[in-house]
Each structure stands twice: as C-alpha cells, then as structure tokens.
Structure 1
C-alpha cells in the first residue's frame, strides 16, 4: 500500500469521500427508526467493529511491538472517539440542515483544521507550509459552503 502511486490512491480516496457522504443520511434514518440517538450510534458502529475484527482474525500480523506501544502518544487511540463525535453529530443534525449543508460544513471544517495540522505538524504530521494558494482554497471552501448552507 505504501508504494501505491497517486493515480491509484486519488481515485480510491475520492471513492471513500463519496461514500462518506452516505453515512450521515443513513445514520439519520437509523436514528429516526431507533428513536434513541445513543442506541443508533452503537448500532452504527457494530458493523464496523465486526468487519475489522474479521479482517484482523484473517490477517493478524504484524503484531504490535512493545516498543511501538510504549512510544505511542497517549492521544493516539482517541481517533475513533473523535470520529464518533462526527457520527453522533450526523445522527442528530443531518435531517435538520440537509445532507449537502452537513457534508459541506464538516468537510470545510475538516479542511480548515487540516491546514492547521499541516502548518504546525500536529499529531506527528510532516509540516506543509501555509501559502497563498492553500489560503485561497480554504476561502473558496468557506464561500462555497456558505452558499450551499444558505440556499
């Protein structure tokens, strides 16, 4: 996977992004059907846990090393919890604002935060300087989602 070229990676990432747009509306229906948003969140995560458990059982190696686990920052395992916040927000709010506005707001916020992560190298990421083109892109995202959310 590490040696995959951008010509293969970018289409896969675009497909993943397109599929991500399905999640909040699907979870909104799940929440309406189950009434309780916390139960809906749990039901939403169960297939993920089952799928990943099956994958791990089929391909259990490589095992983590003691050195790797010891060197892991305290916050590293919290990525799933951070993602759960987005799932719960989708369960609660996508039906109120619409799929386009919800996705646009979350993606725009994601881009803005990602630019900060790149700029400062947070979470062990390689630093990518903030330049005029990146700022322009961020401004266009904000302008675009403003139009989508308003109309």
Structure 2
C-alpha cells in the first residue's frame, strides 16, 4: 500500500523537477545583473530563507534539541549549495540544456552509488542490469545534448 500512495507523489516531483530547470538560467540573469557571483548567490538564497523563517515562526513544529544538533553530521546542511553556485557561474557558458543534463546525469550516477553503498544512512538498493542500463542511457543522452 505504501508504494501505491508514493505513485501520487510522482507528478508533484516531476513538476518540481521541471521548475528546478528555471533556477540556473534565472540565477545566471541575477549574476549578470549584480556582476558579483557571490552576491548573486546570497541574493538567490534570501527569498527562501525569508519564507522558511516565516514558516518556522507560524507553524507549530519543535525546534531542534541540543542532542539533535550535536548528533547531526557535519555534512547535513550542505546539500544543494554547490549546485546553485555552479549554476550561477556556468549555465551561461554551457546553456540550460547541457547544464541540466550534466547535473541530472551526475545526480543519477551519484544516487546509484548512494543506493548501492547505503551512504548517508539510506537503505541499500543493489545495482541491477536495468539500473546500469538507465545510467548508461543518461550518459549517452547528455553526450548527445552537449554535442548538438
């Protein structure tokens, strides 16, 4: 039953992925306008930080405990920041299609490694012929997108 309910999340995830493609070109425009990539990175993060601050103040969720913070791995807060900065710096040079293709392909390949080795406390998912074929097709696809 849990797998059936997860299927309803797929359209939402697909929409989020489609909207995620807007980020690097928008951030590139921001970087060109502000001229400073580091200032553009800061400005890019400000709206989401403001929104999350409002949500934290308005929604009744507990704040972390000292034990929770002490037990948090050092790498936990770093997810996503490098991708935003890479987009700010490079999408204008390679194009939105190549940039998205490269980041998504790299994401798939790394996700397969994370699944295979159970990294970041994830459940282990063995590599199968289907998963390897899918990864190879992703690599072939980005090679075609980047070349043409």
Superposition TM-score tier, normalisation by shorter sequence:
over 0.9
User: Number of matched residues?
Assistant: 147
Matched, 1:143 2:146: no
Q: TM-score normalized by structure 2?
A: 0.92
Match of 1:25 in 2: 25
Gaps of 5+ in 2: none
Candidates 109, 126, 130, aligned match of 1:133:
130
Q: Which runs of 4+ in 1 moved over 6 A?
A: none
CA distance in structure 2 between the aligned counterparts of 1:43 and 1:73, rounded to whole angstroms: 27
CA distance in structure 2 between the aligned counterparts of 1:113 and 1:150, rounded to whole angstroms: 23
Q: How much does 1:107 deviate?
A: 0.3
Matched, 1:96 2:101: no
Match of 1:85 in 2: 82
Q: How much does 1:129 deviate?
A: 0.5
Q: 1:67-86 deviations in whole A, cap 9, x for unaligned?
A: 4333322322232xxx1211
Gaps of 5+ in 1: none
Q: 1:37-85 deviations in whole A, cap 9, x for unaligned?
A: 1111111000010011011111141332344333322322232xxx121
Q: TM-score normalized by structure 1?
A: 0.91
SS at match of 1:64: coil
SS at match of 2:74: coil
